[in-house]
Structure 1
Amino acid sequence: MNIRYLSKDYAVGPQITPADVGWLKAQGFATLVCNRPDGEGGDQPAFAEIAAEANRHGMQALHLPVVPGRITPADRDAFAALYAAAPKPMLGFCRTGLRAETLWTDTQGRARS
């Protein structure tokens, strides 16, 4: 799995599966953020499956689905709020990692905890 750290507390990657969650926990991630709407791709697991596995591993899983190429100010606000509140480090993921990266980049100037 290709994971890229954008800061010490935030990394991005492509779509994960429930089977990846244990490995991600072992890598130190505390929170997983899915930026894909459920059903976007035929090979995509339902977010609920990933969330259940994350819960089983003592991790938080958050769903902030955004449409590719159409990230709104409300999406950016929601990402900034969940980033501020969620345990770190976090992995943001979508089909390729680009939406997760864009949300991060677009909110860099905002205060973070």
Structure 2
Amino acid sequence: MKQLDENVWVAGQIDPADLPALAERGFRAIIGNRPDGEEPGQPSWSVIAAAAQDAGIEARHIPIAGPDDIAARKGDFAQALAEMPGPVLAFCRSGARSGRLYEAAQG
């Protein structure tokens, strides 16, 4: 995990079993930036969202498949950060897309 500001962290793929520990660490929201089915064995967003709900964490899915999606979805990401309680963990396969989306949303 990498902290980007006082309220936002990015990480690689999380597992549904990670959600209780993330709640214990104080995370109050997650944003999934990985499209479903990107890689074999990847947990689906619906399973992650259900685990987040069970852990008391708000969840939003803003999938980013490539560079064009970053420009198109940066407003959605900024809106999610404004609306969701923090701290927020955004994740994708490695954390890189989430970091680029965060940077784009700041502009």
Normalized against structure 2, the TM-score is what? 0.94
Equivalent residue, structure 2, for 1:101: 99
Unaligned runs of 5+ in 1: none
Equivalent residue, structure 2, for 1:10: 8
Equivalent residue, structure 1, for 2:54: 56
Amino acid at match of 2:63: P
Contact 2:70 2:100 in 1 (8 A): no
Q: Where do 1:1-113 residues align within 5 Å?
A: 3-109=1-107
Q: Deviations over 1:26-48 (max 9, x none)?
A: 11100010001111110210011
1:70 is paired with a residue whose SS is helix
Q: For this pair of structures, how many residues does the alignment match?
A: 107
Normalized against structure 1, the TM-score is what? 0.90
Unaligned runs of 5+ in 2: none
The Cα RMSD (Å) is 1.1
Amino acid at match of 2:77: F
Q: Distance in 2 between matches of 1:80 and 1:108?
A: 7
Amino acid at match of 1:102: R
Structure having the higher helix fraction is 2
Alpha carbons of 1:108 and 1:96: their partners in 2 closer, same or farther (altered >3 Å)? same
Q: Distance in 2 between matches of 1:100 and 1:26?
A: 22
Q: Distance in 2 between matches of 1:54 and 1:26?
A: 12
Identity of aligned residues (%): 38
Q: Distance in 2 between matches of 1:75 and 1:65?
A: 9
Q: Distance in 2 between matches of 1:99 and 1:68?
A: 8
